[in-house]
């Protein structure tokens, strides 16, 4: 475990260094535009898995958290001209609060009822934002990017690097949870909540913790999107596609290990970027649907599950 930890942090540092180097070397803007979206989906998928993967509570409200992140940033920018760091921090706080509320919901609802409730909450929040004139209402709002700070020479490059930082943060948290007693407790909840409660696992506290962390990360990932697009409107910020994409990425990657959502997000995110550029965004959604159905039917454990099975077979073959 210790050596794994060292490797992980070396890998994370290398990743950040590479991201920073990219912003200094590559002049073309497009790679940053595309990679930003993929990084954003990695954060969302990893955050989703903390609740959905480890604890087994399927949250369809990813778009609610993402959208609230966007609109927290929009509000702060419009009202106080707040800097980006403050926007992200505030979004994380809002997300944590929403996560807490979500955690209380789990008290009364399990399984599909929980999932339906999260969809319902998303639409209610979206409608409230739509009716809030100050942040633009249903027509949306245009935003002006402030001046970029050194060492970046372009705003999108800076956003790209910030999202990369969030990726490392999210993955580190998810990895820590998986390897600690929190992860084992959540696993127990997933297997049998009643049995877990009976054997002394503090189920409510663990669920609340998972919801708060997951929510804070999702909202934080949404906050820079306002500046990225320079525009925000409720129907795209709260689009159900975010929820389903993130769910698909986590399931395709596999939810048993922290690396699953990362693999899924990179794979599906890159495919979607390619398809959006080369064909159309409709086909993009079609591929999302088909891949979701295919993996759920044919490989329920995801890519991580497939890899594990191959490894196990090989080691059995050796013996």
Q: Tell me how far apart the alpha carbons of residues 114 and 96 are, in angstroms, rounded to a whole number.
A: 18
Task: Between 58 and 177, name the residue whose CB sits nearer to other proteins.
Answer: 58
Q: At 81, phi and psi to the nearest 5?
A: 55, 40
> Does residue 188 contact residue 196 with C-beta atoms inside 8 Å?
yes
Per CB under 8 A, 306 contacts other proteins: no
Per CB under 8 A, 279 contacts other proteins: no
The contact mask relative to other proteins for 77-116 (x = CB under 8 A, - = no) is ----------------------------x--xx-xxx-xx
Task: Between 50 and 158, name the residue whose CB sits nearer to other proteins.
Answer: 50
Among 138, 187, 236, 276, binds other proteins (CB under 8 A): 138
**Least separation, in Å, of the C-beta of 125 and other proteins?**
9
Beta strands in the chain (DSSP E): 141-142, 231-232
Bridge partners for 198 per DSSP: none
> Does residue 88 contact residue 147 with C-beta atoms inside 8 Å?
no
**Least separation, in Å, of the C-beta of 232 and other proteins?**
17
Place of tokens 């009822």: 113
Token duo for residue 92: 């994380």
Label residue 215 exposed, middle or buried (CB < 10 Å: 0-12, 13-18, 19+).
buried
Task: Between 4 and 128, name the residue whose CB sits nearer to other proteins.
Answer: 128
> Does residue 70 contact residue 227 with C-beta atoms inside 8 Å?
no
Q: Tell me how far apart the alpha carbons of residues 62 and 277 are, in angstroms, rounded to a whole number.
A: 25
Only one of the segments 24-32, 140-148, 221-229, 295-303 lies at the binding site for other proteins (rule: CB under 8 A); that segment is 295-303
Among 13, 29, 128, 180, binds other proteins (CB under 8 A): 128
In this structure, the number of other CB atoms found within 10 A of the CB of residue 173 comes to 18
Among 45, 55, 117, 171, binds other proteins (CB under 8 A): 117
Place of tokens 């993996």: 295
Only one of the segments 92-100, 126-134, 160-168, 169-177 lies at the binding site for other proteins (rule: CB under 8 A); that segment is 126-134
Residues from 217 through 276 that contact other proteins (CB under 8 A): 240, 244, 247-248, 251
**Angle CA 249–109–172, to nearest 5:** 40
The contact mask relative to other proteins for 22-61 (x = CB under 8 A, - = no) is ----------------------------------x-x---
| Residues in touch with other proteins (CB under 8 A) | 56, 58, 105, 108-109, 111-113, 115-117, 119-121, 123-124, 126-128, 130-131, 138, 240, 244, 247-248, 251, 282-283, 285-286, 288-293, 296-297, 300
């Amino acid at each position: 475990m210790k050596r794994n930890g060292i490797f992980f942090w070396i890998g994370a540092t290398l990743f950040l260094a590479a991201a920073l180097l990219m912003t200094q070397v590559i002049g073309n803007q497009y790679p940053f535009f595309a990679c930003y979206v993929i990084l954003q989906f990695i954060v969302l998928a990893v955050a989703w898995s903390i609740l959905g993967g480890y604890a087994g509570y399927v949250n369809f409200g990813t778009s609610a958290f993402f959208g609230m992140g966007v609109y927290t940033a929009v509000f702060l920018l419009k009202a106080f001209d707040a800097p980006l760091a403050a926007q992200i921090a505030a979004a994380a706080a809002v997300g944590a609060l929403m996560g807490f509320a979500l955690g209380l919901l789990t008290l009364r609802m399990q399984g599909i009822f929980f999932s339906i409730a999260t969809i319902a909450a998303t639409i209610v929040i979206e409608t409230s934002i739509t009716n809030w004139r100050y942040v633009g209402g249903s027509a949306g709002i245009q935003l002006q990017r402030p001046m970029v700070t050194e060492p970046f020479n372009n705003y999108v490059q800076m956003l790209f690097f910030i999202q990369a930082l969030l990726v490392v943060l999210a993955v580190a948290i998810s990895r820590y949870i998986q390897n600690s007693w929190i992860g084992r407790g959540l696993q127990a909840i997933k297997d049998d909540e009643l049995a877990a409660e009976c054997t002394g696992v503090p189920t409510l506290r663990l669920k609340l913790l998972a919801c708060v962390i997951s929510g804070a990360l999702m909202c934080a990932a949404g906050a820079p999107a306002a500046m990225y697009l320079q525009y925000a409107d409720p129907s795209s910020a709260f689009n159900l596609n975010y929820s389903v994409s993130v769910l698909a990425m986590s399931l395709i990657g596999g939810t048993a290990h922290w690396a699953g959502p990362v693999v899924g997000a990179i794979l599906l995110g890159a495919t979607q970027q390619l398809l959006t550029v080369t064909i159309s965004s409709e086909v993009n959604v079609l591929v999302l649907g088909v891949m979701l159905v295919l993996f759920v039917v044919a490989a329920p454990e995801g890519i991580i599950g497939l890899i594990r099975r191959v490894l196990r077979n090989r080691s059995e073959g050796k013996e």
